[in-house]
């Protein structure tokens, strides 16, 4: 570890940062277009695209689980990082759609990768799940407890969709993304911000569960309930606020951001956040048109695509942000 004045704190102790060593992602093969949804509900490609920016989304095959998607994304991230699964000290997986109630999907993933023995757990923060997981792993590395961590966001949201509800069935898709974090003396993740406000639970939620009980309805009552217009207003307001908070915490300004990599929920929300930063849309990573809203999978999916396409390069400053049910909202500012 190379010690320089920039990575010493006031007491002369070497600072530890977490740095992204590799990224990976995975999308199921099946593509569901807006034209396909026109056959299920009263909607149209023009209506969906103009209001959300979505043209198509992916759907997991029968028998394909969140853990499967997470495994492929994790494998790609480990390969990119040049890291063996046996070297991992921690696995944190953000998801609202675990394979089974317990063990956690992170534990199932750990065994499948061959990383047995390290800490592994799931985080449920809805669409902010990956960002929460990233913030947690970052803190483990900064405190010196962990040297290498795998952070995953993976969802099979189409399993909880009411396909007769045109307000929600057009929005969601399945997918997974992952990053490998490693301890570094050079700045990587500069700051993370995690927030929640349960007072807004009624705006975006799934009404059933083990303790609350299931219902004698199709799919046992498992479905997404969303107050679309209100969610939009709160999302724009909270993301605007967290952008300023994140930059201030890192001592940086809007002009210092090279790329915005946002949660892919709605193109209009993405555009509003870019405007707040003073960024043109050609400096924003957008995948919602092809992926839909993959919840905790959306930010790492977009990040991996940006890295592998060559858009995002080493040394650039990235702002990641997400917003989801809870309500939760989160961000990370980092040097890639």
Q: Are residues 11 and 56 in the same domain?
A: yes
Residue 25 in tokens? 């992602």
CA dihedral of 333, 258, 178, 131, whole degrees rounded to 10: 30
Give the integer Cα–Cα distance in Å for 261 and 274: 10
Q: Is the pLDDT of residue 229 over 90?
A: no
Q: Which of 34, 124, 266, 293 is catalytic?
A: 293
Q: Are residues 180 and 222 in the same domain?
A: no
Q: Give me the pLDDT at residue 228, please.
A: 81
User: What does the mean pLDDT of the chain come to?
Assistant: 95
Q: Which of 118, 124, 263, 291 is catalytic?
A: 263
Sequential DSSP letters for 102-141? SS-HHHHHHHHHT-TTSEEEEE--GGGHHHHHHHHHHHHH
Confidence of residue 7 (pLDDT cuts 50, 70, 90): low
Q: Is the pLDDT of residue 318 over 90?
A: yes
Q: Are residues 203 and 330 in the same domain?
A: yes
Confidence of residue 4 (pLDDT cuts 50, 70, 90): very low
**Catalytic residue flag (residue 293):** yes
**Catalytic residue flag (residue 206):** no
Q: Are residues 174 and 312 in the same domain?
A: no
Q: What is the DSSP letter of 216?
A: S
Structural domain boundaries enclosing 68 = 5-187
CA dihedral of 295, 297, 300, 306, whole degrees rounded to 10: -90
More confidently predicted of 13 and 45: 45
pLDDT, tens digit (0-9, with 9 covering 90-100), for 254-273: 999 999 999 999 999 999 99
Q: Are residues 182 and 280 in the same domain?
A: no
CA dihedral of 253, 259, 262, 266, whole degrees rounded to 10: 110
Sequential DSSP letters for 43-80? --HHHHHHHH---EEEEPPTT--HHHHHHHHHHHHHHH
Residue 50 in tokens? 């103009």
Backbone angles phi, psi at 130, to 5 degrees: -65, -40
Sequential DSSP letters for 88-100? -SEEEEE-SS-SS
- Mean pLDDT over 214-237 rounds to 92
Q: Which residue has the tokens 């593509």?
A: 31
Nearest to 59 by CA among 192, 169, 140, 214: 169
Confidence of residue 13 (pLDDT cuts 50, 70, 90): low
Q: Are residues 203 and 269 in the same domain?
A: yes
Q: Which of 107, 118, 127, 169 is catalytic?
A: 127
- Mean pLDDT over 21-41 rounds to 98
Q: Which of residues 126, 160, 187 is at a domain's end?
A: 187
Q: Give me the pLDDT at residue 79, please.
A: 98
- Mean pLDDT over 90-110 rounds to 98
Nearest to 151 by CA among 281, 334, 276, 310: 334
- Mean pLDDT over 51-77 rounds to 98
Q: Are residues 164 and 198 in the same domain?
A: no
Contact 304, 320 (CB under 8 A): no
**Catalytic residue flag (residue 116):** no
Q: Are residues 246 and 315 in the same domain?
A: yes
Q: Give me the pLDDT at residue 61, please.
A: 98
Q: Are residues 205 and 141 in the same domain?
A: no
Q: Which of residues 170, 187, 204 is at a domain's end?
A: 187
Q: Are residues 96 and 208 in the same domain?
A: no
Tell me what percent of the residues of the chain surpass a pLDDT of 70: 96
Sequential DSSP letters for 165-213? -TTTTTTB-EEEEEEEEEEESS--EEEEEEEE-GGGGGGEE---BTTTB
Q: How many domains does the chain have?
A: 2
- Mean pLDDT over 114-142 rounds to 98
- What CATH number does the domain containing 116 carry? 3.40.47.10
Strand order across the beta sheet in which 17-26 lies? 17-26, 174-184, 148-156, 90-94, 119-123
Q: Which of residues 133, 156, 187 is at a domain's end?
A: 187
Q: Are residues 30 and 174 in the same domain?
A: yes
Contacts with 52 (C-beta within 8 Å, 6 or more apart), sequence order: 170, 171, 266, 267, 268, 288
By DSSP bridging, strand 225-226 and strand 204-205 are antiparallel
CA atoms within 13 A on the CB side of 323: 23
Residue 195 burial (CB count, 10 A)? 17
pLDDT, tens digit (0-9, with 9 covering 90-100), for 71-98: 999 999 999 999 999 999 999 999 999 9
More confidently predicted of 12 and 76: 76
Q: Are residues 183 and 226 in the same domain?
A: no
Contact 123, 94 (CB under 8 A): yes
Confidence of residue 157 (pLDDT cuts 50, 70, 90): very high
By DSSP bridging, strand 174-184 and strand 148-156 are antiparallel
């Amino acid at each position: 570890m190379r010690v320089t004045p920039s990575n010493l704190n006031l007491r002369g102790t070497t600072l530890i940062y977490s740095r992204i060593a590799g990224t990976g992602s995975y999308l199921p093969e099946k593509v569901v277009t807006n034209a396909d949804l026109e056959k299920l509900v009263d909607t149209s490609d023009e209506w969906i695209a103009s209001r959300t920016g979505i043209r198509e989304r992916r759907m997991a095959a029968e028998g394909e689980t969140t853990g499967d998607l997470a495994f492929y994304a994790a494998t790609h991230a480990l390969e990119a990082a040049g890291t063996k699964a046996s070297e991992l000290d921690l696995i944190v997986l953000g998801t609202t759609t675990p394979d089974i109630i317990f063990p956690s999907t992170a534990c199932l993933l750990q065994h499948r990768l061959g990383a047995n023995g390290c800490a592994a757990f799931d985080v449920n923060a809805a669409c902010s799940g990956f960002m929460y997981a990233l913030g947690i792993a970052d803190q483990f590395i900064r405190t010196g407890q962990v040297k290498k961590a795998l952070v995953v966001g993976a969802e099979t949201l189409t399993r909880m969709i009411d396909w007769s509800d045109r307000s929600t069935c057009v929005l969601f898709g399945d997918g997974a993304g992952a990053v490998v974090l490693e301890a570094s003396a050079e700045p990587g993740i500069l700051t993370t911000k995690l927030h929640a406000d349960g007072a807004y639970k009624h705006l975006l939620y799934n009404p059933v569960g083990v303790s609350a009980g299931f219902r004698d309805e199709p799919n046992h009552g498992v479905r997404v309930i969303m107050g679309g217009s209100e969610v939009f207003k709160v999302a724009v307001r909270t993301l605007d606020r967290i952008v300023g908070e994140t930059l201030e915490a890192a001592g940086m300004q809007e002009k210092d951001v090279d790329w915005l990599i946002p949660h892919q929920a709605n193109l209009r929300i993405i555009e509003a956040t870019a405007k707040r930063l003073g960024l043109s849309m050609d400096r924003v990573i957008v995948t919602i048109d092809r992926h839909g809203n993959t919840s905790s999978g959306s930010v790492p999916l977009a990040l991996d695509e940006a890295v592998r396409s060559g858009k995002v390069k080493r040394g650039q400053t990235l702002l990641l942000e997400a917003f989801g049910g809870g309500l939760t909202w989160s961000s990370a500012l980092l040097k890639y």
